């Protein structure tokens, strides 16, 4: 059987991508990046600080980690709440011991319900990134543009009212966006989002918004919860990733290691010790630059 010639025709086929959101860029084609103090790898820790309503919303979709059993799902609700009551503070102590600053991507519901948590994060010198309203605040193409704009503005406005500073960064729930999200984020003044995971350095969308890739394959949720690896295996994975990136940096310039951390996962008492040792191990390496997302974006912008 012979295919009709028109079957193989595709008008958008071209070099690079089949869209105009950002240009194609391969690792070996880029101008090398230089991090402050000639460090080779920017290590970026991003903590997801989330509030899960006890009744999940399934439109446009149910957020990962949300309630699972019949209402009221106290088991999962209180397991998630452990992160705000206990786990986050273990992480903050670990960051203080290592002398590092991180990004905390938080639902604005956290700021309204637990303002002391936000005060403690800011007192530690950490950066706040907007992370929607609560864990029912998901985004997908089933959401109208008006509703999506309102959701984004509610998150940004609330966090600005509580902290006194409008967040520069945005993390969508499950890193999910609609076809309108990048334009809406740019419209309301967001500098960078962290949803797109197709790189290890920042890049700019054609509308001017910057993406700072937060690779979910390097997240504690993915390695420990989904892949069912031990915390020691997670820690070794981060060291392996750093060592590889440091070796690449000799040829390609500064690299970035994003570490996505969840308080109710890593903040458990049988995991936190290994996590603290991991931070100490990284901090002892000459090539490490611990930085917030905003610091990495600012350094990159001066060199793009």
Q: What is the DSSP letter of 59?
A: S
> What confidence tens digit (pLDDT) does each residue in 40-62 have?
999 999 999 999 999 999 989 99
In a domain, 6, yes or no: no
Please write the tens of the pLDDT for every residue from 163-216. 999 999 999 999 999 999 999 999 999 999 999 999 999 999 999 999 999 999
> In the chain, pLDDT over 70 holds for what percent of residues?
97
> How many domains, the chain?
1
Q: What is the CATH number of the domain that holds 292?
A: 3.20.20.370
Q: Among residues 65, 41, 93, 67, which one has the least CA distance to residue 287? A: 41
Please give the torsion angle defined by the CA atoms of residues 69, 71, 76 and 80, in that order, rounded to the nearest 10 degrees.
140
Nearest to 169 by CA among 145, 185, 187, 148: 185
Where does residue 281 rank: exposed (0-12), middle (13-18), buried (19+ CB within 10 A)? middle
Say which residues have a Cβ less than 8 Å from residue 263's Cβ, sequence separation at least 6: 47, 48, 49, 82, 83, 84, 86, 87, 88, 90, 91
| DSSP state letter for 143 | S
86: helix, coil or strand?
Answer: helix
Q: How many of the other CB atoms lie within 10 Å of CB of 274?
A: 16
Q: CB–CB of 76/68 below 8 Å?
A: yes
Separation in Å, CA 34 to CA 8, 268, 301: 44, 36, 11
Pairing status of strand 255-261 against strand 210-211: unpaired
User: pLDDT tens digits for the chain (304 residues)?
Assistant: 577 777 677 666 667 777 889 998 988 888 999 999 999 999 999 999 999 999 999 989 999 999 999 889 999 999 999 999 999 999 999 999 999 999 999 999 999 999 999 999 999 999 999 999 999 999 998 899 999 999 999 999 999 999 999 999 999 999 999 999 999 999 999 999 999 999 999 999 999 999 999 999 999 999 999 999 999 999 999 999 999 999 999 999 999 999 999 999 999 999 999 999 999 999 999 999 999 999 999 999 999 9
Q: Name the maximum alpha-carbon separation found in the chain.
A: 70
Residues with Cβ within 8 Å of 171's Cβ and at least 6 positions away in sequence, in order, are 46, 48, 105, 129, 130, 131, 132, 193, 194, 195, 214
| Other beta carbons within 10 Å of 93 | 14
Q: Which domain holds residue 176?
A: 33-301
Q: What are phi and psi of 204, to 5 degrees?
A: -110, 135
222 belongs to a structural domain = yes
């Amino acid at each position: 059987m012979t295919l009709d010639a028109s079957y193989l025709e595709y008008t958008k086929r071209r070099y690079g991508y089949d869209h105009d959101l950002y240009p194609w860029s391969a690792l070996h084609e880029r101008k090398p990046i230089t991090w402050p103090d000639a460090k080779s790898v920017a290590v970026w820790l991003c903590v997801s600080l989330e509030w899960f309503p006890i009744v999940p919303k399934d439109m446009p979709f149910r957020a990962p980690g949300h309630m699972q059993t019949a209402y009221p799902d106290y088991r999962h609700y209180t397991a998630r709440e452990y992160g705000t009551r206990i786990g986050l503070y273990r992480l903050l102590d670990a960051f203080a011991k290592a002398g590092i600053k991180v990004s905390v991507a938080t639902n604005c519901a956290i700021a309204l319900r637990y303002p002391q948590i936000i005060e403690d994060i800011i007192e530690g010198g950490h950066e706040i990134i907007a992370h929607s309203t609560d864990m029912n605040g998901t985004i997908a193409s089933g959401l109208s543009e008006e509703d999506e704009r309102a959701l984004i503005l509610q998150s940004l406005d609330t966090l600005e009212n509580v902290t006194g500073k409008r967040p520069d960064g945005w993390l969508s729930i499950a890193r999910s966006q609609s076809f309108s999200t990048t334009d809406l984020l740019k419209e309301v003044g967001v500098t960078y989002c962290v949803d797109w995971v197709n790189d290890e350095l920042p890049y700019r969308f054609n509308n001017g918004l910057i993406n700072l890739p937060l690779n979910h394959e390097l997240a504690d949720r993915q390695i420990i919860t989904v892949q069912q690896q031990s915390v020691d295996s997670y820690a070794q994975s981060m060291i392996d990733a750093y060592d590889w990136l440091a070796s690449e940096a000799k040829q390609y310039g500064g690299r970035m290691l994003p570490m996505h951390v969840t308080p109710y996962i890593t903040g458990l008492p049988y995991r936190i010790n290994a996590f603290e040792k991991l931070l100490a191990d990284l901090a002892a390496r000459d090539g490490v630059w611990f930085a917030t997302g905003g610091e990495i974006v600012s350094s990159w912008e001066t060199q793009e």
